[in-house]
C-alpha cells in the first residue's frame, strides 16, 4: 500500500490536475477495468486478451504521462485506427485517477 501511495504522489506531481482531481489509483483501476480490460492487460502482470493491445503497465515508460493525459482528454483514437471501439473521452478527475493507476503499475 505504501508503494502504491508513493507512485500516486509521483504521478500527481507531474500532472497538473484541477483542484478536484482525486489521483486515486483504485478509482483508476475501476475505470480501466470497465473500459479497457477486454483488450489490454491492466494489471502489473499478465498478457493482454487482445494480443495486439500493449499491456497498460508499459504505457508509463513509453509515453510521457502528460501526452497520455491529453490523449485521454481528447478521446483516444491514436493507436486504435481500424479497430472497432468507442472513442473514449474522460473527465479530468477520471484522467488523474487513470494516470495514478498507470503510475502504480508502470515499469519505469
Residues that bind ligand HEC (CB under 6 A): 32, 35-36, 38-40, 50, 52-54, 59, 62, 68, 76, 79-80, 83, 85, 88
Question: Whole-number minimum distance, CB 28 to ligand HEC, in Å?
Answer: 10
Nearer of residues 14 and 62 to ligand HEC, judged by Cβ? 62
Q: Which of 76, 70, 25, 27 is nearest to 54 (CA)?
A: 76
Smallest gap from residue 17 Cβ to ligand HEC (A)? 17
Asked if 6 and 79 touch (Cβ cutoff 8 Å), the reply is no
89 sits in the region (left: phi over 0; alpha: psi -120 to 50; else beta) called beta
Nearest to 10 by CA among 106, 94, 74: 106
Judged by beta carbon, residue 7 or residue 72, the one nearer ligand HEC is: 72
Nearer to ligand HEC (CB atom), residue 6 or residue 70: 70
Least distance to ligand HEC from the beta carbon of 2, Å? 26
Cell numbers given for 67: 501526452
Q: Which is nearer to ligand HEC, 29 or 40 (CB)?
A: 40
The closest alpha carbon to 105, from 46, 50, 49, 52, belongs to 46
Amino acid at each position: 500500500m505504501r508503494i502504491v501511495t508513493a507512485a500516486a504522489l509521483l504521478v500527481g506531481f507531474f500532472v497538473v490536475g484541477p483542484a478536484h482531481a482525486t489521483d486515486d489509483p483504485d478509482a483508476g483501476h475501476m475505470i480501466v477495468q470497465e473500459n479497457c480490460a477486454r483488450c489490454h492487460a491492466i494489471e502489473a502482470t499478465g498478457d493482454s486478451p487482445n494480443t495486439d493491445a500493449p499491456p497498460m503497465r508499459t504505457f508509463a515508460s513509453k509515453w510521457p504521462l502528460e501526452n497520455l493525459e491529453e490523449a485521454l482528454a481528447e478521446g483516444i483514437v491514436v493507436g486504435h485506427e481500424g479497430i472497432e471501439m468507442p472513442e473514449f473521452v474522460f473527465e479530468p478527475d477520471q484522467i488523474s485517477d487513470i494516470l495514478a493507476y498507470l503510475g502504480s503499475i508502470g515499469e519505469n
